[in-house]
Amino acid sequence: MDMMRAHKMRRTHKLVLPLDEHSHTARVLEYWSAFDASAGPNDLRLNWTAARGMQFFEFEHRRVFGVQLDASGKPTGELSEAYTFNLQELKQPIIKAVTAGGWIWQPVMWNAPDSLRWLIE
């Protein structure tokens, strides 16, 4: 809570790895979404976005100043909360595990049938 407003933020990033055993390729589909909400005495603001595709990098850092509440709604005594998201920190361990297992990491926009893969890869 800050300046008489309550905030809610949620981020989701999903990697779907269909495995092609013939070519030993993990064709990676990415989905992500963001939800932000804030409520004050005079208004309510909601923002939701979702996307699908290949995301090569994302870095987001936020700091909120104000009264911080724990999961039960009680004040924590902290005056600020920091949030950092680095997409590479999420993806690198997965990429490393897939490639260490002998698979090819192939980001794609669409998991096309075999006859159309020449269009997207």
Domain ranges of the chain: 6-120
Backbone phi, then psi, for 114, in 5-degree steps?
A: -50, -40
Q: Check residue 83 and give its pLDDT.
A: 81
Is residue 21 predicted with pLDDT exceeding 70? Answer: yes
Report pTM. Answer: 0.70
The C-alpha atoms of residue 87 and residue 80 are separated, in whole angstroms, by 23
- Which residues, 6 or more positions from 62, have their beta carbon under 8 angstroms from its beta carbon? 9, 82, 83
State how far the alpha carbon of 101 is from the alpha carbons of 14, 96, 98, 106, in Å.
21, 8, 5, 14
Is residue 1 predicted with pLDDT exceeding 60? Answer: no
